[in-house]
Structure 1
Amino acid sequence: MREHTLDLTADQKWGEGLVAVAEGEQVDLDVRIESVHEGMLVSGTVHTSYTGVCGRCLNDIDMPLKVEFQELFAYPGDETSDFEVQDDHVDLETLVRDAIVLSLPFQPVCQPDCPGLDPATGVRLTDTSGADQREPTDSRWAALQEYTTDHDDTASRP
C-alpha cells in the first residue's frame, strides 16, 4: 500500500455548462494505492474549486469542490477493463477528471435560497427589497376581486 499527496493544476477546462473547473486551477489530490489480487485498488480525495454562473440569478460563483473516488485498475489479461495497470503504473488523469466533472452541479446556485430574477423586469431579486413586487392580476379572476365574506346574505336566513 502506498499513499501520495499531489498538488496539480488542471491542464485544460474540465466540465461544460454553467460551471467548470478552469484551466490552471489548483487540484489537490490525496491518493491511496493498494495491491489486490485483481490489480491495484486506487481510492482518494480531490480538492479543487469550480467557477461559473448561478443558474437562477446569473451571478458569478466560485465554490470549493471535494470529490471522493475509488477504482480498481486491473492487471492486463483476457478480460477487458476500463482501467488497467500499465508497466506497474496507473494513469489517474482520466479517473480524476471524470470524478470531478460528474460531481459538478447541473443547476448551480450562488446560495441555497437564491430567489433568482424577476420575471417581469429581469432584475435580480437579491438586489431589490421586494416591496415593489406585485403579482400580475389575471383578468379571468377580476370579478372575484370584489367578493368579500362581509357580503354574506345573513338577512335571508329563516
Structure 2
Amino acid sequence: MKKHLNGPFVLPAREIVRRPGDMREHALTIPVPERWGEGVVSVAAGSELALDVRLESVHEGILVSGTARTTYEGECSRCLREITQPVEVEFQELFEYPGDETPDFELQDDHVDLETLVRDAIVLSLPFQPVCRPDCPGLDPVTGEELTESPGVAQDPIDPRWAALRELTETDPAHGVGQSREES
C-alpha cells in the first residue's frame, strides 16, 4: 500500500534510483510539524530544523545520511529554570527498494520520507535529566530556594528521630573532642 508522498520531509530520488554510485545533496530549513519529545525537554512545534542530507544510490536502495540541527526547550532538572539548548544529531538509514520483505524504511514512488527518521534521531538524543549548566547546584531540599554558589559547608537536615542523640554527642571545643557537655 503506497501513500501519497508530499511535505517538507519528502525528498525526490528519481534521478538516482537504480544507479549505484550516484548521489544528491540537499540543505533544508523547515519547521518542526509538532512537538517532538515527551520528557522534561522537547522540541516545540514550529521550531526551525536545519537538515543537511545526502542521498546515495546503492544496489539495495537509497542510503540516506545527514545531520539535523534544532533547539530543545524545557526545565533544568536541578533548579527548574527554563532552558533552551541546541541539539545536533547525525543519522543514516537505508531506504530499500520495494520488494517481498517489509523493511523499516522503504523507497516509495521514488521518494524518501525523512520525518520518522529525523524525529526519532532527535528525540532519542534529548537529555533525560537536562541541566542549565554542568555545575548547577539545584534547589535547597528544605526551603525550595535556589542554592547559591557560596563556599559554605552544606549540612544535611537532621531526622527528628535522631535529634536527641545529636544533643548527647555534640562536643564543646573548650572541653575537648568527644566529651558531651554534661561530662564537663
Q: Is 1:146 matched up with 2:168?
A: no
Q: Is 1:136 matched up with 2:151?
A: no
What do you get for the CA RMSD once the two structures are aligned?
Answer: 2.3
Q: Which runs of 5+ in 1 are unaligned?
A: 153-158
TM alignment of 1:77-96, pairs within 5 A: 77-96=99-118
Choose the corresponding residue for 2:93, options 43, 48, 71: 71
In structure 1, the residue matched to 2:54 is 32
Determine the C-alpha separation between the residues in 2 that align with 1:114 and 1:29: 32
Determine the C-alpha separation between the residues in 2 that align with 1:69 and 1:147: 64
Q: Report the more deviating stretch, 143-152 or 100-109.
A: 143-152
Choose the corresponding residue for 1:46, options 61, 68, 72: 68
Secondary structure of the 1:90 match is strand
In structure 2, the residue matched to 1:115 is 137
In structure 1, the residue matched to 2:35 is 13
Determine the C-alpha separation between the residues in 2 that align with 1:136 and 1:105: 30
How far does residue 130 in structure 1 lie from its aligned partner after superposition?
6.6
Query: What is the aligned-residue identity percentage?
Result: 61
How far does residue 135 in structure 1 lie from its aligned partner after superposition?
3.3
How far does residue 132 in structure 1 lie from its aligned partner after superposition?
9.1
TM alignment of 1:57-68, pairs within 5 A: 57-68=79-90
Contact 2:171-2:177 within 8 A present in 1 as well = no
Change in CA separation of 1:108 and 1:39 when aligned onto 2, cut-off 3 Å: same
Report the number of matched residues: 151
Change in CA separation of 1:52 and 1:151 when aligned onto 2, cut-off 3 Å: closer
